[in-house]
Structure 1
Amino acid sequence: MVLLGTLINGALIIIGSVLGLFFTKIPERYKETVMHGIGLAVMLIGLQMAIATDQIIIVLLSLLSGAIIGEFIHLEEGLNRLGNWIGSKFTTTNNNFSVAQGFITATLIFCIGAMAIIGALDSGIRGDHEVLITKGVIDGFTALVLTTTLGFGVVISVIPVVLYQGAIALFATQIEKWLPEAFLNGLIVEVTAVGGLLVLAIGLNLLKITNIRIGNLLPSIVTVGIIYYIYQLI
């Protein structure tokens, strides 16, 4: 079953998030310190991903083009409205962070990265779900911790995670017919690098060092593929 790894990953995120909801009433000073720890760890993950790039110009152009598109269509505002609308249908006890922030933060952490892409490709091309199941265990523990501070929005992130990884897995069943392996491997490196910078931005925002509109940078995950293709042609 092509989607087995993706479904297990999604189920583990839900389990971790639900468990985290039971710990939302811990004292605020604990939440603050935990959030600082999460922010530092997220920054480290982002840096490790970002330095993998072989072509910094591709990363730069991807971020610039993605930022222009995101600002033009007001992507972050739309994501905030979507997250808050979904959150309004449920009861949440967390008043410090919006549902949208939890949704966007968790979605980026769970979706962007080598394990999400490579794991989904392995599921589609080879029917091997080990990477996604391993990622699911990590995501489950991460969801538990995130939910204690960011609230219900983390639970909702399972929707884009399943759609994103599921789409890649289904696409991967046909991808070898269209893309050479060398091109695919190089593209994964650059997508991971761009995603790493977005994850780094999450960490900076969680630590309240910056207030980067990460949602408006999300189109860069798409534009990096186009720019990488053009770069290879040139």
Structure 2
Amino acid sequence: MKDLFAHLPAAGTLVNALAVVIGSTAGLLIRSRLPENLMKAIFQSIGLFTLFLGVHMASQTGNFLVLIFSLVLGSILGERIDLDGLLQKFGEVLKKRFSKGNDRFVEGFITASLLFCTGSMAILGAIEEGLGGFPNLLFAKSLLDGVSSLALSASLGLGVLFAAIPLVLYQGSLTFFAGAAQTYLSQAVINEMSAVGGLILLGLGLVILDIKAIKVTNMLPGLILAALMAAFFL
């Protein structure tokens, strides 16, 4: 079994995406059977867990200056590029093609995409596989994402299923990048990327709980800047 996955590029990411598709499909099948108050409780639980995960990840930073500068400069870059707007437009294109009657399609797509792509397991798991290791972390993440996608799709609908697309693009790219740049990926680089990802997840948790509207997608360039700053200064 290990030999099979060793010869399949980004096998962990492909299994992860499949888990999201299966979990989302299951959530859509049971969606009509769940009362509204139960779906609200599930959604709030995911929001609280996202906040906790964000705090846990952010605490991994070894340099607060790298953390804050990465996030601030990354947010400025993201605003200039308008990543949030681009992801919204992509979600709208998918909605028009696959789900014209689902008002929460784009919300589900963006929420799930950010949740699945910015966690520490996404970063560490992709790097582990890119460095030639067996994708143990991504397989464990697949199980968690499968359960999360079931709950999210039951609340937000079909858009959650399509989060498998940015998941494959992001984790797959990170896996291949890790393989190409493995000499530069120190533990400090990984920790700072995870810490910035944690702050992004904190923002996502606030959005999920409907506490504050934050364009979390525009903060994503901070992950790249954190890696660069950590590589040069730590």
TM-score by length of 2: 0.89
Q: Say yes or no: does 1:88 pair with 2:116.
A: no
Sequence identity percentage: 36
Task: Assess if the C-alpha contact under 8 Å between 2:120 and 2:198 holds in 1.
Answer: no
Task: Describe the superposition over 1:47-78 as per-residue Cα deviations: whole angstroms up to 9, x where unpaired.
Answer: 11111111111111011111111222222122
CA distance in 2, matches of 1:137, 1:119: 13
- The residue type equivalent to 2:65 in the other structure is I
Q: Which runs of 5+ in 2 are unaligned?
A: 1-6
CA-based RMSD = 1.7
Task: Assess if the C-alpha contact under 8 Å between 1:101 and 1:150 holds in 2.
Answer: yes
Task: Assess if the C-alpha contact under 8 Å between 2:27 and 2:149 holds in 1.
Answer: yes
Q: SS at the partner of 2:99?
A: coil
CA distance in 2, matches of 1:137, 1:60: 32
What does 1:138-177 correspond to in 2, within 5 Å?
A: 138-176=144-182
Change in CA separation of 1:42 and 1:125 when aligned onto 2, cut-off 3 Å:
same
Q: For residue 128 of structure 1, what is the aligned residue in structure 2?
A: 134
- The residue type equivalent to 1:158 in the other structure is A
Change in CA separation of 1:174 and 1:75 when aligned onto 2, cut-off 3 Å:
closer
Task: Assess if the C-alpha contact under 8 Å between 1:12 and 1:136 holds in 2.
Answer: yes
- The residue type equivalent to 1:221 in the other structure is L
Q: For residue 76 of structure 1, what is the aligned residue in structure 2?
A: 84
Q: For residue 199 of structure 2, what is the aligned residue in structure 1?
A: 197
CA shift, 1:93, in A, is: 5.9
Q: For residue 65 of structure 1, what is the aligned residue in structure 2?
A: 73
Q: Say yes or no: does 1:5 pair with 2:12.
A: yes
Q: For residue 223 of structure 1, what is the aligned residue in structure 2?
A: 225
Task: Describe the superposition over 1:117-141 as per-residue Cα deviations: whole angstroms up to 9, x where unpaired.
Answer: 2222222223412221111111111
Q: For residue 107 of structure 1, what is the aligned residue in structure 2?
A: 113
CA distance in 2, matches of 1:125, 1:229: 17
Q: Which of 51, 62, 75 is matched with 1:54 structurally?
A: 62
- The residue type equivalent to 2:67 in the other structure is V
What does 1:204-219 correspond to in 2, within 5 Å?
A: 204-219=206-221
- The residue type equivalent to 2:207 in the other structure is N
Task: Assess if the C-alpha contact under 8 Å between 2:44 and 2:209 holds in 1.
Answer: yes
Count of residue correspondences? 226
CA shift, 1:191, in A, is: 0.7
TM-score by length of 1: 0.89
